[in-house]
Amino acid sequence: MKKEDTVKLISREGFEFIIDKKAAMVSQTIRNMLTSPGSFAETEHGQVTFPEINTTILEKICQYFYWSLQYARSYLTFNINTINYCYVCPVLIS
Amino acid sequence: MSAPKKKNFQIEAFKHRVVVDPKYAEKTWKILEHAIHEIYNHNASGLSFEELYRNAYNMVLHKFGEKLYSGLVSTMTAHLKEIAKHIESTQGGLFLEELNRIWAEHNKALQMIRDILMYMDRTFIPSTHKTPVHELGLNLWRDNIIHSSKIHKRLQDTLLELVQHERTGEVINRGLMRNVIQMLMDLGSSVYQEDFEKPFLDVSADFYRLESQQYIECCDCGDYLKKAEKRLIEEIERVSHYLDTKSEPKLTNVVEKEMIESHMHRLVHMENSGLVNMIVNDKYEDLGRMYNLFRRVSTGLALIRDVMTSHIREIGKQLVTDPEKLKDPVDFVQRLLDEKDKHDKIISSAFNNDKTFQNALNSSFEFFINLNPRSPEFISLFVDDKLRKGLKGVTEEDVEIILDKVMMLFRYLQEKDVFEKYYKQHLAKRLLSGKTVSDDAERSLIVKLKTECGYQFTSKLEGMFTDMKTSQDTMQGFHAAAGADLAEGPSLTVQVLTTGSWPTQSVNTCNLPSEILGVCDRFKTYYLGTHTGRRLSWQTNMGTADLKATFGKGQKHELNVSTYQMCILMLFNKADRMSYKEIEQATEIPASDLKRCLQSLACVKGKNVLRKEPMSKDIAEDDAFYFNDKFSSKFYKVKIGTVVAQKESEPEKQETRQRVEEDRKPQIEAAIVRIMKSRRVLDHNNIVAEVTKQLQSRFLPNPVVIKKRIESLIEREFLERDKTDRKLYRYLA
């Protein structure tokens, strides 16, 4: 996969998640970061650091992005029997 | 992943870290302010979007939204003030370009600022009813740049100057114009309208007022219109290139008003090139242009229409009242048709087939055709001419076209009953002399008349055709019955005409030669034998005869003559010389007819079977006539025409007129009775109006005549006057 199509998300602890740009753009905020007209640091380097988000949550977020991309947005392949729920453990949130 | 286990848990509210640092807001704002500066300085690449976003987010979250917002406003304002100074200092030509460039930059910066302040834009601004960031940016730009005292006027002047340049034929940077104008539109339609459109329209009006004044002084109408059209197209193009589409109607309005409306009358009435001149010279292109331009102005078309109408009326009036042109009725009608064709073509090719113009044309024709009381007669004569000889060798479609045109003229006539009278006379002559060219054409015209005026209008005309047909059958029957008895002597063809259907003729029976009288009597007995209760009278003034004559050198000729002429010639079987008086006594032909017959027999070169003494053109009462032994002709058959008065002579005209008036009386009476029967009570004016309405398809009744008819009806106790209100009439059952 080309580098331009991916984006690196870095957690508070410094863990790096390299995911599809498409998936990252599920988040409107990340979309803005990557597409804002003047090139911010994020757009230039293709990476975003989240000093306030810990690794576990960022991982879950990334999972959610892919889940959302696959199930929540693709109306065409939607099928009630095959749907998988994105399970978020309550512990994570506390 | 598996289905969630059922387990009770509580989601606790996210706990924000309590900000302890009292300078937190100040610090965070500094970061953001710095970022905004950097963005305006094109240094954004060093900034972290995430950080800025997080800071803005936290500020709003920690109730510092107000500070963030006001900080943004003041920072941006400060920046724009800087920019304004920069723009003010730019030199002449670069002004617009610089403005445009910085505008683009401002837009970009604004977009970025909005992105990092997205959270504020979404939560803080709606809840406090402030202006969203993007709009705020535009407003600040408007107030600080566009409305800055030094830029405002300069921008306006520059734009207007550029348009002026383009109007005078220079090439300008349209792309730049479009961008700058687009900027004004982006700032809100009121900015565009106030700061550009209004002064622009004013300037345009001035420009075109001046230009049109120049043009109208030095150009003729056609050229002026060409220029106006060009200008109009240019302005429309201008709108499509760099103005707001909503400006188009306003702008064209200005051009229309200045270039067309204010000079409309002068243009139309321009000598040697105005509307009348165009019409006379069939300038379709110019006329079309005039139509299209004037259509844009509210009273434009009405003006063209009025001028055209009065022009046509003028021409038509000359046409129908010029005594020179009244000499030849066929030519007269042909002229009318040509005139109609000409204007029809103008309307169809230049005036877009406009219905109102067609109506104007029709009403004009109606107006002037009826100016001449002889029009009905002439139209009928025209038809007569066409059906007698004009249609030979013409295809059926052409015949239809000619007849349709005649019908069109007929429609304009007010006195349709007069036309009917004449038509009947002419048709009778055609039928009896067997001169009608095409039976189909005759019938087709009758059908047209019928569709135009209804059954009763043509019933008599149709009766004439029926008579002709029955007469043929009768003749066959007669010949079959009489058979061999008739082999010797002259053969006779009789047309039995129903009184009433045919035009009434004063019966001037002449004395028929004995040879003929015999056959006639035989027919009479035969006819009355088969049809009881009928009366036959001979219309000797309408028949024709073929005579076989032998002349001096033994050459034989067949002479085709009228019945009267036949009677005269038969006299010369017994005598070679007869005086006028002798002939008159022997034949008892009415004097005027006799003179005409003798003239055609003795005075026409090549057909002079009689010789007159003394030799002169006119017949006098004491002339003497001789059988012309020396008569010779190249042809075996010689047709001797009667010197017929084609057009009616003055007394005949009077007579016809009188007959028409006479015929109208019962029609008017019938109409009055019909109306009163349904209304029971009606006042005088209403009766006149209704009668006129009912009869207008046939003629235009004169109110005085109507009044007389009402009086006559009162006398005969169909109506009575109301006892209290003398203006009211009451129907008596």
- B88-111: pLDDT as tens digits: 888 777 888 888 888 888 888 888
Q: In what order do the strands lie in the sheet with B610-613?
A: B577-579, B624-627, B610-613
Distance of alpha carbon B481 from alpha carbon B528, whole angstroms? 13
Instruction: Give the position of tokens 């509307």.
Output: B275
Distance of alpha carbon A42 from alpha carbon B49, whole angstroms? 6
Sorted by where each begins, the domain ranges of chain A are: 3-93
Backbone phi and psi for residue B562, each to the nearest 5 degrees, phi listed first: -85, 170
What local confidence, expressed as pLDDT, does residue B2 receive?
47
- B400-418: pLDDT as tens digits: 888 888 888 888 888 888 8
If we measure between CA atoms, which residue out of B184, B298, B304 comes closest to residue B246?
A: B184
What local confidence, expressed as pLDDT, does residue A94 receive?
42
Residue of A32, A33, A39, A40 best to disrupt the B interface, most CBs of B under 10 A: A40
Instruction: Give the position of tokens 């009121």.
Output: B190
Q: Do B48 and A40 touch (CB under 8 A)?
A: yes
Contacts of B12 in chain A (CB under 8 A): 93-94
What local confidence, expressed as pLDDT, does residue B427 receive?
84
Q: Do A41 and B3 touch (CB under 8 A)?
A: no
Contacts of A90 in chain B (CB under 8 A): 7, 9, 11
Name the band, by pLDDT with cuts 50, 70 and 90, for residue B645: very low
How long a stretch of residues is chain A? 94
Return the higher-pLDDT residue of B13 and B248. B248
AA identity, residue B656: T
- Take residue B313 and report the two structure tokens written for it: 């009326």
AA identity, residue B68: L
Name the band, by pLDDT with cuts 50, 70 and 90, for residue B479: confident
Has domain B153-298 been given CATH number 1.20.1310.10? yes
- Could you write out the three-class secondary structure of chain A? CCHHHEEEEECCCCCEEEEEHHHHCCCHHHHHHHHCCCCCHHHHHCEEECCCCCHHHHHHHHHHHHHHHHHHCCCCCCCCCCCCCCCCCHHHHC
User: Is the predicted pLDDT of residue B257 greater than 80, yes or no?
Assistant: yes
Contacts of B109 in chain A (CB under 8 A): 38
What local confidence, expressed as pLDDT, does residue B392 receive?
65
Q: Three-class SS of residue B562?
A: strand
Q: The domain B544-639 is classified under which CATH number: 3.30.230.130, 1.10.510.10, 3.40.50.620, 3.40.50.300?
A: 3.30.230.130
- Could you write out the three-class secondary structure of B276-292? HHHHHCCCHHHHHHHHH
What local confidence, expressed as pLDDT, does residue B10 receive?
67
User: Cis (ω within 30 of 0) for the bond into B199?
Assistant: no
Residue of B49, B108, B110 best to disrupt the A interface, most CBs of A under 10 A: B49
Tell how strand B719-721 and strand B728-731 pair up: antiparallel
Of the ranges B152-161, B620-629, B640-649, B723-732, which one carries the lowest mean pLDDT score? B640-649
- B348-361: pLDDT as tens digits: 888 888 899 899 98
Distance of alpha carbon B192 from alpha carbon B239, whole angstroms? 14
Q: Do A40 and B108 touch (CB under 8 A)?
A: no
Q: How far is CA B540 from CA B272, B516, B544, B553, B587, in A?
A: 60, 12, 9, 32, 11
Superfamily holding B315-467: Cullin Repeats (1.20.1310.10)
Q: Do B49 and A44 touch (CB under 8 A)?
A: no
Instruction: Compute the CA torsion angle B412, B415, B421, B424 (nearest 10 deg).
Output: 20
- B571-584: pLDDT as tens digits: 888 777 888 888 88
Q: Do B11 and A50 touch (CB under 8 A)?
A: no
> CA angle at residue B524 from B519 to B527, to 5 degrees?
125
Chain A stretch 3-62, residues whose beta carbon is closer than 8 A to a beta carbon of chain B: 29, 32-33, 36-44, 48-52
Distance of alpha carbon B568 from alpha carbon B572, whole angstroms? 7
- Take residue B692 and report the two structure tokens written for it: 């006129």
Q: How far is CA B135 from CA A32, B8, B110, B493, B654, in A?
A: 19, 47, 9, 105, 90
Distance of alpha carbon B651 from alpha carbon B654, whole angstroms? 5
- B282-293: pLDDT as tens digits: 888 888 888 888
Name the band, by pLDDT with cuts 50, 70 and 90, for residue B1: very low
Of the ranges B10-24, B84-98, B379-393, which one carries the lowest mean pLDDT score? B10-24
Distance of alpha carbon B113 from alpha carbon B585, whole angstroms? 127
Distance of alpha carbon B210 from alpha carbon B203, whole angstroms? 11
**pLDDT over 90 percentage in chain B:** 0
**B497-516: average pLDDT:** 74
Distance of alpha carbon B231 from alpha carbon B208, whole angstroms? 9
B45 touches chain A (CB under 8 A): yes
Distance of alpha carbon B234 from alpha carbon B236, whole angstroms? 5
- B198-213: pLDDT as tens digits: 888 998 899 989 888 8
- Take residue B572 and report the two structure tokens written for it: 């010369």
Sorted by where each begins, the domain ranges of chain B are: 24-146, 153-298, 315-467, 544-639, 651-731
Contacts of B46 in chain A (CB under 8 A): 41
Task: Write the CATH number of the domain with boundaries A3-93.
Answer: 3.30.710.10
What local confidence, expressed as pLDDT, does residue A88 receive?
62
Beta carbons within 8 Å of A70's beta carbon, 6+ residues apart: A77
What local confidence, expressed as pLDDT, does residue B269 receive?
84
Shortest CA gap B64–chain A (Å): 20
Backbone phi and psi for residue B9, each to the nearest 5 degrees, phi listed first: -145, 160
For residues B547 and B579, the answer to whether their CB atoms sit within 8 Å is no
Q: Do A85 and B1 touch (CB under 8 A)?
A: yes
What local confidence, expressed as pLDDT, does residue B474 receive?
85
Strand ranges (DSSP E) for B503-616? 544-550, 556-562, 577-579, 610-613
**pLDDT over 70 percentage in chain B:** 93
Q: In what order do the strands lie in the sheet with B728-731?
A: B681-683, B728-731, B719-721
How long a stretch of residues is chain B? 733
Name the band, by pLDDT with cuts 50, 70 and 90, for residue B539: confident
- B224-247: pLDDT as tens digits: 888 888 888 988 888 888 888 888
- B551-602: pLDDT as tens digits: 777 778 888 888 888 888 888 887 778 888 888 888 888 777 777 777 777 7
Q: Three-class SS of residue B610?
A: strand
For residues B369 and B412, the answer to whether their CB atoms sit within 8 Å is yes
What local confidence, expressed as pLDDT, does residue B219 receive?
83
Distance of alpha carbon B497 from alpha carbon B165, whole angstroms? 86
Q: Three-class SS of residue B454?
A: coil
Q: What is the mean pLDDT of chain B?
A: 82
Has domain B24-146 been given CATH number 1.20.1310.10? yes
User: Is the predicted pLDDT of residue A80 greater than 60, yes or no?
Assistant: no
Distance of alpha carbon B298 from alpha carbon B496, whole angstroms? 64
Question: What secondary structure does DSSP assign to B424-437, as a single string?
Answer: HHHHHHHHHTT--S
B12 touches chain A (CB under 8 A): yes
CA–chain centroid gap for A37, Å, is 21
Name the band, by pLDDT with cuts 50, 70 and 90, for residue B163: confident
- B652-701: pLDDT as tens digits: 778 777 888 888 888 888 888 888 888 888 888 888 888 888 888 778 88
Backbone phi and psi for residue B361, each to the nearest 5 degrees, phi listed first: -60, -45
Tell how strand B577-579 and strand B624-627 pair up: antiparallel
Distance of alpha carbon B140 from alpha carbon B77, whole angstroms? 7
Of the ranges B8-17, B112-121, B363-372, B429-438, which one carries the lowest mean pLDDT score? B8-17
Shortest CA gap A1–chain B (Å): 25
What local confidence, expressed as pLDDT, does residue B57 receive?
87
Tell how strand A6-10 and strand A47-49 pair up: parallel
- B40-52: pLDDT as tens digits: 887 777 788 888 8
Task: Write the CATH number of the domain with boundaries B651-731.
Answer: 1.10.10.10
**A13-25: average pLDDT:** 89
Q: Give the nearest partner residue to B49 out of A33, A52, A85, using CB atoms.
A: A33
Give me the long-range contacts of B645-651 (CB less than 8 A, separation at least 24): B646/B329, B646/B381, B647/B329, B647/B377, B647/B381, B648/B377
Q: Give the nearest partner residue to A49 out of B9, B50, B116, using CB atoms.
A: B50
User: Is the predicted pLDDT of residue B606 greater than 80, yes or no?
Assistant: no
